[in-house]
Amino acid sequence: MGIAMKLTTVGNSTGMVLPKDVLAKMRVKKGDTVYLTETPDGYLMTPYEERFAKQVEAAEDFARDYRDVLRELAK
């Protein structure tokens, strides 16, 4: 089941305050970086991992370089 979150103003931006138990389960704290990934079902927020970020970047580069081939394969 999801947790309802309220958006709030943070300076000139909009932010979301995460409950302590959510931070604990994600093993993150104030100042840490999290990774937001778009999925078919919405967005997924995970603790930032440099290795994972590099893998995503490599996958995006591959998809961009071979987009025509991938488009043909999808037919």
Domain ranges of the chain: 7-74
Could you please state the CATH topology (level 3) that the domain comprising 7-74 is classified under. Answer: Pemi-like Protein 1; Chain: D (2.10.260)
The identity of residue 58, as a single letter, is A
Q: Which pLDDT tens digits describe the chain residue by residue (75 residues)?
A: 688 889 999 999 999 999 999 999 999 999 998 988 889 999 999 887 778 888 989 999 999 999 999 999 998
54 is written with which tokens?
A: 């590099």
- How far apart CA 55 and CA 52 sit, in angstroms, is 5
- How far apart CA 18 and CA 28 sit, in angstroms, is 11
| 63, 71 Cβ separation under 8 angstroms | no
Question: Maximum Cα–Cα distance for the chain, whole Å?
Answer: 47
